[in-house]
Structure 1
Amino acid sequence: MRLLPAVALLLASTAAHAQTTTAPAISLDTLKTVTKTLSSDEYEGRAPATAGEEKTLAYLVERFQKAGLKPGNKGSWFQDVPLVEITGNNVSKLAFTGGKTPLALDYRKDMVIATYRVTPKVDIQNSDVVFVGYGINAPERGWNDYAGVDVKGKTVVILINDPDWQTMTLDGPFGGRAMTYYGRWTYKFEEAARQGAAAAIIIHDTEPAAYGWGVVQSSWTGPQLEQDTPGDHMDQSQAIGWIQQEPAKALFASAGKDYAALIEAAKHKGFKAVPLGVKASVSWENTIRRQASKNIVGILPGSAKPGEYVLYSAHWDHLGRCDAVDGDDICNGALDNASGMASLVALAEAQVKAGPAKRSIVFLGVTAEESGLLGSKYYAENPVYPLAQTVGGVNMDGVNNVGRAKDFVLVGVGKSELEDLVKPFVAAEGRVIVPEPTPEKGSYYRSDHFSFAKLGVPMLYGESGEDLRVGGKEAGHKASEDYIEKRYHKPQDEYSDSWNWDGAIEDLTIFYGLGRQLAEGTTWPNWYPNAEFRAVRDKSRAGK
């Protein structure tokens, strides 16, 4: 790839920096202690707006102070994030009538249902059901699953991911194997609301969803958080949710439709939405609680250009109390994301030990990531430090706990010049950058860097690959699959003294180097010209 002259010069200086600068050691003790503490049962899974939040923030302030950071929000460690908690009660079965066989799906077991609307009761009765394929309206790609159908007041049934997710290459109308934002459940509910649907139900399928039903069940039951905004989200659908694949097949059979044939048809441009000829009914009551959660903000002020900022971010929250497994109802979130917060503290310690850089370095712990990136979204929309003056940075969401890797993965590769800048730091460890092994999971749209990217700030999201120095690709892939299947978003995501932190320390050394280079430099890395975030960044910087 040909580099623009400015990028080439910056890359050369980065290479020199990587070769000549020795970073302060990343503290293994900090990584272990902070992870173990935050993921202990005492913190009750770190759900926002609970006693677990209070303990979490108090502990993180203590660690930030000890590291040598300053309060980052006008003398305060915190940024209030207004949230509203909605808890569904007395949830009825999701009933489908009018077909060959009436169906009544059980809450949690067969389906989950919720609402973005801040309303005391949801009651949907006899809503016509329409299968809308992948539920995508993408004019720039010549694709509209809602073309020719009016779904106002109706219930839409939607497939997860993109139509070409089974393509093993990155070629296709939606990027082939790599998920686009059109494949994310958040988009599908947003588009259903724009189309006026009363209810939007996604069919769960483990591979294209990238997680099993247990993850859906634990994430979509119990208290649900949303940003507390004027209008109470009444422009959204009344109901949003998921159903298991087997009940979905039974629904299509009851409607006299060929499930497999319709799934195949939905993969192709020109697909027409199919009314199923059945009606949906569901109701429940909501307990509503408004409160503010908090982002935590620390800063290492710059020595020469304190009004320019480099950002490190991670989320401190997890799911709190969740559906019990073997009697354990605390989702401790040790890897996701106590380890990320431990990394934020360890990087703060290292940067302070190195002394102030020319630019300021901000350490941001955000809330409510698990509820839809709400804390980072709020910060990006209400920044403590102007986004036009934020150079870029690194987001961390879980770290390597299985040992050193030969490779390093850039998630959402091909978007920003930070990818060029990080290469020398990866090479300095004798490692290679490789493509995402599972681009179909849409990881780029699932963590807090996305909130900043949408508003133009280049943020690197990278992690160890699966090619371990001990055990190779087989061992790395096995470890990844084991975590997703057995621990991700479950009570089993607990700290263990058996974790191997060597790979995490190597990754954090890369993040340290990149952040330090940005903070000591004068350049402003941008998005590549064809990246979807380039225009907003150019506009932001032009108006600074």
Structure 2
Amino acid sequence: MSRLSTPLALAALLSLAACNGSGDASKTAAAALPDVALPDLSLSTLQAVTKELSSDAFEGRAPGTAGEEKTVAYIIKQYEAAGLKPGNNGSWTQDVPLVEITAKNATPLTFTGGKTPVTAQYASDYVAFSYRVQPKTEVKDSDVVFVGYGINAPEKGWNDYAGLDVKGKTVVVLVNDPDWQTKEAKGEFNGRAMTYYGRWSYKYEEAARQGAAAVLIVHDTEPAAYGWNVVESSNTGTQYLAESKNGGADQTLANGWIQLPKAKELFASAGQDFDKLREAAKKKGFKPVALTGVKANFGFDNQISKKMSRNVIGILPGTKRPNEYVLYTGHWDHLGRCTPVAGDDICNGAVDNASGIAGLVTMAEAYKKAGAPDRSVVFLAVTAEESGLLGSKYYAENPVFPLAQTVGGVNMDALNAIGPTKDIVVVGRGKSELDAYVAKLAQLEKRVIKDEPTPEKGFYYRSDHFSFAKLGVPMFNFGSGDDLINGGIEAGKKAAEDYEKNRYHAPGDEYDAITNWDGMIADLRLYYAAGRMLAMTDAWPNWVKGDEFRAARDKSRSAAQK
């Protein structure tokens, strides 16, 4: 295996490549990385694990249910059979304390005080839930204020809450970033490429920091990146929270979404033009607009219980540097029982993400067969991704293996079920020195690297790699694009859109709906090679200078080297 003699030399090449992802520097850096042999991966293992985990017997794999018990036991069994060792000091699992909250008996959301009363029905027009651990949520006679995109970004000189006291008030916010319609990934908020400020989770966090009683995000399919069906199925069932000492007292009373037509009706009742205000909110200096006289009222009961969920951890110890770690991650959970479709109320999550856990097992087998690499390889199946990346967040903040000694990793969330493609799409391309590794992979597989086609959907912030990135660990987030070997781009986009519309976060995401496994195997080969390269080099990839996660990595590595 060819390797540079020093990690500093490789790091220099990687840094250069990250700044110029398609030139000679990228090719040079890729050539300097370790050569790895692509394995023969077991299709039968991939299919068998996916089929089992997505069967009705697992009831949608919701945390804290009988489905979790079966899931965790099954993953441990598969890890043992694959030749891994328990990854948490002799245990296969890491406890993750959660609070389970289910909204019950929700009232309609009513707005009074305008020209005409406006009523929104629960589930069909609005959804809401609470992050406060209390038996009842009631928002009563709450003043309503439109705060644009609900962003407070001091480093950009942008504050949609400037001069506003929102204590006791309900804030209405827009989803995504102000410049999401920009054609290029350039601008105040990276244009089409969504930043974390555009994510629903940020909107809730900032509203809470501002002291709002409630926050309602206006749902619009294009900037949200999914239809109302996804919002409804994801938010009307049981929600899971990380257990906190104050029981969520620092959170809003209620977080929710409201349908776009109903929001327009509300604004018209208040004598405001929603479309004009939405346009105005795109510009720096936008001032919040009170819907004068309008009061919001709604409420629901909270069924509460504390649950101990679990991450499952297996490890293949390294042969030369066992105290340096490469991560493979994937979430085992899904939505459990959800909004019924044709009488079926189990969201089985075959692609999302039984396929990713099956990928972990399949690669564990391949690693064991090929022999352990220089560094240790950790196979981490995390809980509660669908509830806000809670399992990966808990591990990242309470790591079994120090993050300062974690080289990087690969996250697998919903493998490619549409078929092998000619291209590789990198989510977050240009952010880290891992770009050079992807260049090497593209050479191995004779595939073309493309930028993310839908950066406005914010995929970089929607899966478990983000929990590690925030704390400095570079994580791969890449996979097949839409340019199918059989059918091209048009067929690829059609297949991806069909999954998102008909099966994503719905009961239709079942094993029998997967008709093409070749794309999954093709991507698993890339994921294997990416992790193997990380595990066979002595370099420590970093984020490029100026990236939002660079400071955390520099700090942790500096401490580790003292």
Q: TM > 0.5 between the two?
A: yes
Corresponding residue number in structure 1 for 2:214: 199
Corresponding residue number in structure 2 for 1:479: 495
Corresponding residue number in structure 1 for 2:522: 506
Corresponding residue number in structure 2 for 1:154: 169
Corresponding residue number in structure 2 for 1:241: 256
Query: How far 1:24 moved relative to its partner?
Result: 2.4
Query: How far 1:503 moved relative to its partner?
Result: 1.9
Query: How far 1:172 moved relative to its partner?
Result: 1.6
Question: Does structure 1 conserve the Cα–Cα contact (< 8 Å) formed by 2:36 and 2:533?
Answer: no
Separation in structure 1 between the aligned mates of residue 227 and residue 514 of structure 2, nearest angstrom: 26
Q: Which amino acid aligns with 1:88?
A: A
Corresponding residue number in structure 2 for 1:421: 437
Matched, 1:332 2:336: no
Does the residue aligned with 1:360 lie in a helix, a strand or coil? strand
Question: Does structure 2 conserve the Cα–Cα contact (< 8 Å) formed by 1:87 and 1:222?
Answer: yes
Deviations 1:322-344 (A, max 9, x none): 01011000000011001111111
Question: Does structure 2 conserve the Cα–Cα contact (< 8 Å) formed by 1:15 and 1:425?
Answer: no
Q: Which moved more, 1:153-162 or 1:408-417?
A: 408-417
Corresponding residue number in structure 1 for 2:159: 144
Separation in structure 1 between the aligned mates of residue 29 and residue 45 of structure 2, nearest angstrom: 31
Deviations 1:447-479 (A, max 9, x none): 000000000111001110001111110001111
Corresponding residue number in structure 1 for 2:11: 7
Matched, 1:316 2:332: yes
Corresponding residue number in structure 1 for 2:234: 219
Q: Which amino acid aligns with 1:468?
A: L
Separation in structure 1 between the aligned mates of residue 8 and residue 75 of structure 2, nearest angstrom: 41
Question: Does structure 2 conserve the Cα–Cα contact (< 8 Å) formed by 1:306 and 1:358?
Answer: yes
Corresponding residue number in structure 1 for 2:205: 190
Does the residue aligned with 2:186 lie in a helix, a strand or coil? coil
Deviations 1:116-138 (A, max 9, x none): 11111111110000000100111
Does the residue aligned with 1:496 lie in a helix, a strand or coil? helix
Deviations 1:354-375 (A, max 9, x none): 1111111000000000000000
Query: How far 1:5 moved relative to its partner?
Result: 4.3
Corresponding residue number in structure 2 for 1:111: 126
1:538 aligned residue (554, 557, 561)? 554
Q: Which amino acid aligns with 1:294?
A: R
Does the residue aligned with 2:353 lie in a helix, a strand or coil? helix
Query: How far 1:436 moved relative to its partner?
Result: 0.4
Separation in structure 1 between the aligned mates of residue 376 and residue 124 of structure 2, nearest angstrom: 50
Q: Which amino acid aligns with 2:337?
A: R
Q: Which amino acid aligns with 1:527?
A: W
Query: How far 1:423 moved relative to its partner?
Result: 1.1
Does the residue aligned with 2:428 lie in a helix, a strand or coil? coil
Query: How far 1:422 moved relative to its partner?
Result: 2.2
Unaligned runs of 5+ residues in structure 2 are: 1-6, 15-25
| 1:35-434 correspondence to structure 2 within 5 Å | 35-277=50-292, 278-434=294-450
Question: Does structure 1 conserve the Cα–Cα contact (< 8 Å) formed by 2:10 and 2:29?
Answer: no
Separation in structure 1 between the aligned mates of residue 302 and residue 146 of structure 2, nearest angstrom: 28
Q: Which amino acid aligns with 1:46?
A: R
Query: How far 1:17 moved relative to its partner?
Result: 6.0
Deviations 1:59-118 (A, max 9, x none): 111111110000100111000000000111111111110001111211101100101111
Query: How far 1:304 moved relative to its partner?
Result: 1.5
Q: Which amino acid aligns with 2:482?
A: E
Question: Does structure 1 conserve the Cα–Cα contact (< 8 Å) formed by 2:11 and 2:540?
Answer: no
Q: Which amino acid aligns with 2:181?
A: Q
Does the residue aligned with 1:99 lie in a helix, a strand or coil? coil
Q: Which amino acid aligns with 1:510?
A: L
Does the residue aligned with 1:201 lie in a helix, a strand or coil? strand
Deviations 1:184-212 (A, max 9, x none): 00001111111110000000000100000
Deviations 1:390-437 (A, max 9, x none): 000100101111211010011111111111122111221110110101
Does the residue aligned with 2:97 lie in a helix, a strand or coil? strand
Q: Which amino acid aligns with 1:208?
A: P
Question: Does structure 2 conserve the Cα–Cα contact (< 8 Å) formed by 1:156 and 1:200?
Answer: yes
Separation in structure 1 between the aligned mates of residue 13 and residue 499 of structure 2, nearest angstrom: 41
Separation in structure 2 between the aligned mates of residue 530 and residue 438 of structure 1, nearest angstrom: 23
Separation in structure 2 between the aligned mates of residue 498 and residue 198 of structure 1, nearest angstrom: 43
Query: How far 1:538 moved relative to its partner?
Result: 0.6
| 1:21-32 correspondence to structure 2 within 5 Å | 21-32=36-47
Q: Which amino acid aligns with 1:251?
A: L
Query: How far 1:497 moved relative to its partner?
Result: 6.8
Separation in structure 1 between the aligned mates of residue 530 and residue 271 of structure 2, nearest angstrom: 58
Does the residue aligned with 2:362 lie in a helix, a strand or coil? helix
1:26/1:17 Cα in 2 relative to 1: closer, same or farther (>3 Å)? farther
Question: Does structure 2 conserve the Cα–Cα contact (< 8 Å) formed by 1:128 and 1:154?
Answer: yes
Matched, 1:449 2:453: no
Separation in structure 2 between the aligned mates of residue 395 and residue 309 of structure 1, nearest angstrom: 14
Query: How far 1:4 moved relative to its partner?
Result: 8.4
Query: How far 1:498 moved relative to its partner?
Result: 5.2
Question: Does structure 1 conserve the Cα–Cα contact (< 8 Å) formed by 2:418 and 2:496?
Answer: no
Separation in structure 2 between the aligned mates of residue 138 and residue 13 of structure 1, nearest angstrom: 36
1:419/1:280 Cα in 2 relative to 1: closer, same or farther (>3 Å)? same
RMSD, aligned CA: 1.4
Query: How far 1:348 moved relative to its partner?
Result: 0.7
Separation in structure 1 between the aligned mates of residue 362 and residue 244 of structure 2, nearest angstrom: 35
Q: Which structure 1 residue ranges, 4+ long, deviate > 6 Å from structure 2? A: none
1:8/1:423 Cα in 2 relative to 1: closer, same or farther (>3 Å)? farther
Question: Does structure 2 conserve the Cα–Cα contact (< 8 Å) formed by 1:14 and 1:517?
Answer: no
Question: Does structure 2 conserve the Cα–Cα contact (< 8 Å) formed by 1:86 and 1:288?
Answer: yes
Deviations 1:279-304 (A, max 9, x none): 10112111110011000000001111
Unaligned runs of 5+ residues in structure 1 are: none
Q: Which amino acid aligns with 2:366?
A: A
Q: Which amino acid aligns with 1:481?
A: E
Separation in structure 2 between the aligned mates of residue 404 and residue 515 of structure 1, nearest angstrom: 20
Query: How far 1:22 moved relative to its partner?
Result: 2.1
Separation in structure 1 between the aligned mates of residue 555 and residue 33 of structure 2, nearest angstrom: 31
